Chain A
Amino acid sequence: VKSQTTLGRFFNLS
């Protein structure tokens, strides 16, 4: 089973 990631995991929130 795969779960949905969010963009914050890959990109820096600035």
Chain B
Amino acid sequence: MLEARLEQAGVLKKVVDAIRDLVQDINFDCNDSGIALQAMDNSHVALVSMLLKSEGFSPYRLDRNIALGINLTSLTKVLRCAQNEDILTLKAEDTPDTLSLIFENAENDRISEYELKLMDIDQEHLGIPETEYAAAISMPSAEFQRICRDLIQLSDSVTIEASKEGVKFSCSGDIGSGSVTLRQQNNVDKPDLSTKIELTEPVTLTFSLKYLVNFCKASALSSVVTLSLSNEVPLLVEYAMGSGFVRFYLAPKIGE
């Protein structure tokens, strides 16, 4: 059986909010490393990969590996019944038909118990190759969100150019064009507001803004986002949490 207790229900709520517009029916794969999911959107253009490490739960008990087939719209309905500060416990049998979710308030005088019906989900798993990226940019997640929301007003695509000078997001559409350039800067007082660029070679790639705007729903999970790019490979957008991560991969747009 599985028993996994999370101090803050808000963590799972934010994870589900971040991915539920991209993927609907997913498996939570529970194993010794924690609770993981990997799922592609219907168009096979984007992939979400998430891990909530076992260390982030206390306790984390698992007798054998199990997959919990979950409809995220249904899970969202149940999670709405939890306060962000509630303690959340997930429980399931070894061959589960349902997932139990128990919410307890910090004062320990309210216990809510819900059962979510599980589904059989046949999932395609993508072998994601280990990639040495040519450029890794870490920046405030709120800044990345603002840039994507601004540029999507002008175009459905953005070109990201990473060089020693900085990172430039540019777009062009029917009404005109626009760009935002960020220079590398180190904020000593507030490291989360720094922009860092690690570069082995310059990279220029074009991506659909619709997906990037969608990824930015994960901004609540982390004040920092990391963009990893190499020419002609999918973009990796990572939001790291204290004990886990949400990663998005996005296939580029490529010229004929």
Contacts known (A8-B44, A10-B233, A13-B124); A3 close to B256, Cβ less than 8 A: yes
The list of the 9 closest CB pairs from A to B, nearest first, reads A12-B127, A2-B253, A11-B126, A6-B44, A5-B251, A2-B255, A14-B127, A7-B251, A4-B253
New A-B pairs, 11, CB < 8 Å, besides A4-B251, A7-B44, A10-B233: A1-B255, A1-B256, A2-B206, A2-B255, A7-B47, A11-B127, A11-B234, A12-B129, A13-B127, A14-B125, A14-B126
User: In the bound complex, do residue B208 and residue A7 qualify as a contact, i.e. CB atoms below 8 Å apart?
Assistant: no
| Whole-angstrom distance between the Cβ of B126 and the nearest chain A Cβ | 4
Q: Which residues of A contact B208 (CB under 8 A)?
A: 4
Q: Which B residues between 15 and 42 are near A, CB-CB below 8 angstroms?
A: 40
- Residue ranges of B at the interface with A (Cβ–Cβ < 8 Å): 40, 43-47, 124-129, 157, 206, 208, 233-234, 249, 251-256
CB nearest to B208 among chain A residues:
A4
List B contacts of A8 (CB < 8 A).
44, 126
Report yes or no: B256 in contact with A7, Cβ–Cβ below 8 A: no
- Taking a contact as CB atoms under 8 Å apart, the answer to whether B252 and A5 are in contact is yes
**B157 pairs with A10, CB closer than 8 A:** no
Tell me the smallest distance from the CB of B133 to a CB of chain A, in Å.
Answer: 13
Judging by beta carbons under 8 Å apart, are B44 and A10 in contact?
no
Report the bound CA distance from A5 to B47 in whole Å. Answer: 13
**With A2-B157, A6-B251 as contacts: A11 and B256 at CB distance below 8 Å:** no
